Structure 1
C-alpha cells in the first residue's frame, strides 16, 4: 500500500481527474465508499465519525462529507455526498488562489474536455457551506450518476467527486424567492451532459441596501473569479426612469474589472466618484477613449472595493431617476458567456 500511495503522490491533476471520473462510487453507501477509497489506493478507517481519507498526496488528504442535518433532505439513499481532494496549495491572496485554480482548470479541461457547468457559489455553497473570501468559482463535468467538480477550497482548488442528484436538488430547492436565497451565478452549456438539468427560480431585491450588498459581493470577487474560470463577462445595466430604460453602466471583467458610466448631462458623475480615461488609463483598452466618458478601473483579483463600487453605482442610478431596485435591469447580453447560458442569481436584479 505504501508503494502505491507513493506513486499516487506524483500523480498529475489530469490523471487524478480521469481516475475519479472512472471510479465506481457504489451508490455512496458505506460499503460503496469503502470500495471507492480502496480502489483509488487510499486509506480510510470507515469509522462513522472519521471523514479524513489518507491519499499520500503532497497537497493533503481527502475529505468525505457524510449526510448530516443539512444534507438529509436532498439525498435518496446516499450516506455521503462528496469526496473532496485538494489538488494545489497556494498563498491566501486572491491573485495566487485564482492562478492556482486556473492552472488546475486548464489541466482537467485538457483531460476531460470543456466543463458542462461553470459559475460561482457566491457566499452560499452546496448544503449551506461558506466559500473562500476571495471568490467561490467552480466548474463541473456533469455525469450520471456522479459529477466531478473543481471547486475553490480553503487553501487551494479541490477536485470534488459527488453524486449528481443531491447537490442539484439542494440548488433547485433554494429558489424560494426570499432575498439572498441563492448567491453567485450559474452557467451551463447546451451539451447533452446537461440533459435533465433543473434551474431554480430566482429572487428580486426589495431595497437599495439589498442591491448594494449583492452588487458589492459580486463586483468584489469578480476579477478573481473570471481569471480563475478563464472567462470574460460583459454586463450592461439599464435603468428604467419613467421615460425609457437607457443604458447606465457597462461592467467588463476579464483579468481586471472596469466599469463604464453613461451619465446624462444634468448630473455630475465626478462628484459621485467616477473618473475619465485620464484618471483610469487602463480602461482605454476596454472602452473607447470617449465612450463612455465616465469610467473606473477597479483592479485585478483581490483589488476591487466591492461595497464602495456598489454604493457609487446605486447613487448614480438613483440620480438618473431610477426610483426602485426593480427598475435596475441586467442586459440580456450578459447571459451568454463563452458558450455558457448564465443566470446571475446572487444579484437579485431583473434581466431584460
Structure 2
C-alpha cells in the first residue's frame, strides 16, 4: 500500500473490499481505528461524535459510527460499531439505485465469492437507523472478528466494515415479539462462515391494519430489492377458512412484481381491484392465461403502490373467509431463495 489517497487501487470496489477484509481493526478501539485509517492511507476529520475518514474517493468519504446510547447495550469493548464507505453515487430513483447496488454486488461476488448472508433491513436498520425509501437491501460476508456488508446508502451502495458481535447482538435482541419489532427479511446459506449464527424470534400481527402496513412496506420495495440482490422470490399465501387452507395468492418478484389471485367460488375479485391477463398482459409469462384468472402486474423498481396492493390482498382474504391475520399463511416454499434460507421478519405472518 503506497499511502496515496485516491489511488487507482482505492477506486476499485473489489480491491477496496479486499483491503477492508484484510484490515486489522484493533478491536475497534480509538487507537485501533486510528491505526486502521493510517493503514488505509485515509486522513482523520470530522468531530468526535461524527468522525470522518477522508478517502479521496469520488463517491465520498468514509463515516465512522461511535458507540452511543443506541449502541452501548450491544457492544463489548468496542468504541465504534461500523466504518461505512460510499462506493457509488446514483440517481435517487429506485431503478438507478437498484442497478448501482446490483453492479457493486456482482463485482464483489466475483472478488469475494457468494455472500453468506443477504436480505433487506426494511425500515429498521442496524442500531435503529432508517433505510432509504426505495429499499434497504444488503449482502454480507460474515467473518470473525469483523464482517463486511454491502448496504444501500442514502446516495448509493456503501461498503460497511463492522465488528460481527455488536451487529448480530443487536439483531438477535430485536426478537421481542412486539409488532414491527423486526422488519425486512433475512437469508443465510450453508457457508461455513455462518457457523454459530443466531436467529431472533419473530413477531405476530394482531390486526388487519398491521398486516396492511407490513405488506405495504414489503411489496412497495420488493422489485427494487430483488433486482438489487439478483434474486427471484416466489411466495404463495394460503388462507385458512372453514374449507381448509387453499392457496389465495401467488406473489412472484424478480425485476417486476406480479401477484396472482386464486379466488374461491362466489368471490368477486374485480370488486377489489384484480384484473385478468387482458388487463395485465405482462403476466402471461408468469402464469398460464387462465391460471390464475385474477392477477395484477405491479411494476418494476419504484413502481408498486404498496398500500393499495396491501389493502387489495387483505380485502380479498377477508372476503374469502379468512378470519384474522393468524390464518393468512406464507407458504414454506418462499423460504428457499437461490440457496438461502429466508425468514420474512417484517410480515408478522405465520409460515407453513
Normalising to structure 2: TM-score of the pair? 0.98
The residue that corresponds to 2:271 in the other structure is: 271
Determine the C-alpha separation between the residues in 2 that align with 1:252 and 1:49: 44
Match of 1:235 in 2: 235
Structure 1 residue 242 displacement after superposition: 2.0
Q: Does structure 1 retain, via aligned residues, the 8 Å contact 2:330–2:351?
A: yes
Separation in 2 of the partners of 1:39 and 1:249?
Answer: 53
User: What is the match of residue 191 of structure 2?
Assistant: 191
SS in structure 1 opposite 2:105?
Answer: helix
Alpha-carbon distance change, 345 to 142 in structure 1, aligned in 2, over 3 angstroms: same
1:207 aligns with 2:207: yes
TM alignment of 1:142-221, pairs within 5 A: 142-221=142-221
Which stretch shifts more, 282-291 or 244-253? 282-291
The answer for the alignment partner of 2:294 in structure 1 is: 294
| Cα shift at 1:196 | 0.5
- Are 2:77 and 1:72 equivalent residues in the alignment? no
Of residues 221-230 and 9-18 in structure 1, the stretch that sits farther from structure 2 once superposed is 9-18
CA contact (8 A) 1:329 1:350 kept: yes
Query: Separation in 1 of the partners of 2:47 and 2:133?
Result: 32
TM-score w.r.t. structure 1 length? 0.98
Mapping 1:27-66, distance limit 5 Å: 27-45=27-45, 48-66=48-66
> Following the alignment from structure 1 to structure 2, what is the Cα–Cα distance between the partners of residues 86 and 227?
20
SS at match of 2:215: helix
Aligned to 2:83: 83
Structure 1 residue 190: Cα displacement: 1.1
Query: Counterparts in 2 of 1:199-348, with a 5 A limit?
Result: 199-348=199-348
CA distance in 2, matches of 1:299, 1:47: 43
1:265 Cα deviation from its structure 2 partner? 2.2
Provide the rounded CA distance (Å) in 2 between the counterparts of 1:345 and 1:119: 10
* Structure 1 equivalent of residue 104 of structure 2: 104
The DSSP-based 3-state class of the residue aligned with 1:149 is: strand
Q: Partners in 1 of 2:238 and 2:118 — Cα distance?
A: 25
Asked whether the 8 Å contact 2:235–2:333 carries over to 1, the reply is yes
State whether residues 4 and 41 of structure 2, in contact with CA within 8 Å, keep that contact through their aligned partners in structure 1. yes
The one-character-per-residue Cα deviations of 1:305-330 (angstroms, maximum 9, x if unpaired) are 00000000000000000011100000
Runs of 4 or more above 2 Å deviation: 8-11, 45-50
Structure 2: unaligned runs, 5 residues or longer:
none
**CA offset at residue 51 of structure 1?**
1.0
Query: Cα deviations across residues 107-135 of structure 1 (Å, max 9, x unaligned)?
Result: 01110000000000000000000000000
**Offset of residue 50 of structure 1:** 4.4
Partner SS state of residue 190, structure 1: coil
The alpha carbon displacement at 1:11 in A equals 2.3
The 2-side partners of 1:62 and 1:45 are apart by: 10
Deviations 1:37-87 (A, max 9, x none): 110111114863341110000000000000000000000000000000000
